[in-house]
Amino acid sequence: MENFIERYKTIKKEHQINEEIRDREVRLIGDDGAQLGIVSSAEAQRIADEKGLDLVKISPNANPPVCKIMNYGKFMFEQVKRAKEAKKNQKVVEIKEVWLSMTIDVGDLNVKAKQSLKFLTAGNKVKVSIRMRGRQMAHSELGLDVMNRFFELVKEQGVMEKKPQTEGRNIWMMLAPLKA
C-alpha cells in the first residue's frame, strides 16, 4: 500500500484537480468523452460536482486549458498500474566482460569462449577485451587476429555488435546475443 501512495503522490503533481484549477475559462470534456465546449471553471466544477466526479486539468498549455470530468482516484490507480506493468515487462541487459591475452593458447581461448556462450545464451551482451603490454603495442594486428578467432568460436550464439577496435593499449569488441 505504501508503494501505491508514494507513486500516487509523485504522479498527483502532474494534474490540477477541482478547486486547484483557477483559470477563467476551460475547454470541458465530459466523462463520456464528449466535447461540452468552452465554459468558466466555476461552471465546469459545478457540472463535475453534479455528476459526483472530479474536474481534472488534462492539458494546461492549451488555450484555453483542457479539463475533463472523471473519477480521479480510478484514473490514478490505472496510471500506477500501467507504469508498474511497463516496468515489469522491461528486460535489463547486462554487459559481461571477458579478458583475453594476445599470447592466449587454444585451450584457454576455448574456455573463455565457453564462458561467453553462457553469457550470450542468458541474453547478456559480452565485451571482449585485450590489454597490450610492452612490445605487443607494435603488433596490434595479432590482437585483432585473436579477436577474430574468438568470434569464430562464439558466432553460432552471438553477433558482432561492434567490430574489434583499438583504443590506446586496449583492443575491444562487443558481442550481442542472436535474436530468438
Tens digit of pLDDT for each residue in 46-91?
888 888 888 888 888 888 888 888 888 888 888 888 888 888 877 7
Which residue in the block uniquely carries the three cell numbers 603488433?
A: 139
Q: How far is CA 145 from the centre of its chain?
A: 36
Residues 116 and 132 in one domain: yes
Number of domains in the chain: 2
Same structural domain, 60 and 74: yes
CATH number assigned to the domain comprising residue 74: 3.10.20.80
C-alpha cell at 104: 592466449
Q: Among 76, 82, 75, 87, which Cα is nearest to 5's?
A: 76
Beta bridge partners of 59: 66
Domain span at 112:
95-177
68 and 9 housed in the same domain: yes
User: Which pLDDT belongs to residue 4?
Assistant: 58
What pLDDT, on the 0 to 100 scale, is given for residue 172? 92
- Is the whole-model pTM more than 0.75? no
Query: What does the pLDDT look like over 112-152, one tens digit per residue?
Result: 999 999 999 988 999 999 998 888 888 888 888 999 999 99
82 and 112 part of one domain: no
- CATH at residue 147: 3.30.110.10
Question: Distance between CA atoms of 163 and 91, rounded to whole angstroms?
Answer: 25
Cα-to-chain-centroid distance, residue 115: 27
- Say if residue 6's pLDDT is above 90: no
Residues 12 and 62 in one domain: yes
Measured CA to CA, the distance from residue 53 to residue 142 in angstroms comes to 73
pLDDT of 100 reads 92
Q: What separation in angstroms does the CA of 74 have from each of 59, 70, 87?
A: 19, 8, 20
Same domain? 109 vs 128: yes
